[in-house]
Amino acid sequence: EAQVTQNPRYLITVTGKKLTVTCSQNMNHEYMSWYRQDPGLGLRQIYYSMNVEVTDKGDVPEGYKVSRKEKRNFPLILESPSPNQTSLYFCASSLSQGRGNEQFFGPGTRLTVL
């Protein structure tokens, strides 16, 4: 089954404790991205990657890091989480960055930073 998986689905942590949210897709997609969803603000893109070893900032990259060492994986790293990073996070992928390509989303990771 074609899918995007994220882990963990739920995470409660404390300020300053480094964490990684994993994302993997099995569709051989070139383009992957991370979003955060907050009430009243909709979806905001954090980082994206056009292919292996190619990443770039989205609209709200501060406090986040990413890497793309393999085509299928695109982990999101919070080196020193803060309470304002409490949010619902989605990973997404698409065949390429082409204008008509739909994005496939993972199920989401709900992060709470105390």
Please identify which residue in 1, 10, 42, 62 interacts with another protein, judged by CB under 8 A. 42
Contacts (Cβ under 8 Å, ≥6 apart) of 50: 30, 31, 56, 96, 97
Residue closer to another protein by CB (options 1, 98) is 98
Q: Select from 17-25, 35-43, 62-70, 72-80 the region that touches another protein (CB under 8 A).
A: 35-43
CB 106 within 8 A of CB 24: no
Residue closer to another protein by CB (options 58, 63) is 58
> Which tokens belong to 78?
């919070």
Please identify which residue in 11, 30, 52, 58 interacts with another protein, judged by CB under 8 A. 58
Largest Cα–Cα distance of the chain, in whole Å?
40
CA dist., res. 94 & res. 24, Å (int): 12
On the 0-12 / 13-18 / 19+ scale of CB atoms within 10 A, 2 is exposed
Q: Select from 19-27, 66-74, 78-86, 105-113 the region that touches another protein (CB under 8 A).
A: 105-113
41 contributes a contact to another protein by CB under 8 A? yes
Residue with the two structure tokens 């909709």:
42
Residue 97 CB, shortest distance to another protein, in Å, is: 4
Residues that bind another protein (CB under 8 A): 4, 40-43, 45, 48, 58, 90, 92, 97-108
